[in-house]
Amino acid sequence: YFVPCVFRSSADDSLFPGRRLAELTVELNALLNSDDIRFFDNNMYVRGWFSPFHRQRKMVTSLITRQIHSQASTYLVTIQEKVEALKEEMVRLYPDSTAEEWIEEHVSPVVAPLQRIMEDFSACVTETQP
């Protein structure tokens, strides 16, 4: 009985069908658990000058809100790109509902506060502009 030898010339030619999914999952989890994302939980400007109290009353400083908005939008775009790549890879191996569930369970809790900051920023800018 003859078993052919399989040679792979690069890491992209892996025999493991979920290799790319595993890599993307590790990358996304690292991003979601990074200190950069925790910045919005712990930063004195977010907690102080752009706190829920200040956002609700539209008492925000435009310079600080622009900085926070810039950082939050950068992180959201990065996360969304990773999530799209992960979902695309995940639906190759699992049903679409499994991909949606994983994203809902693992990504949404981190992304929701950033999205709220972005929405609050838009509302504050709209109401404070002449």
Segment 6-34 mean pLDDT: 77
pLDDT band at residue 100 under the 50/70/90 scheme: very high
Integer CA distances (angstroms), 94 to 17, 58, 83, 86, 118, in order:
12, 45, 15, 12, 32
pTM for the model stands at 0.71
68-77 contacts at long range (C-beta below 8 A, 24 or more positions apart): 68/40, 68/43, 68/117, 68/121, 69/117, 69/118, 69/121, 71/39, 71/40, 72/40, 72/114, 72/117, 72/118, 72/121, 73/118, 75/36, 75/37, 75/114, 76/111, 76/114, 76/115, 76/118
Segment 66-76 mean pLDDT: 82
- Quick check: 44 pLDDT over 90? no
pLDDT at 60: 65
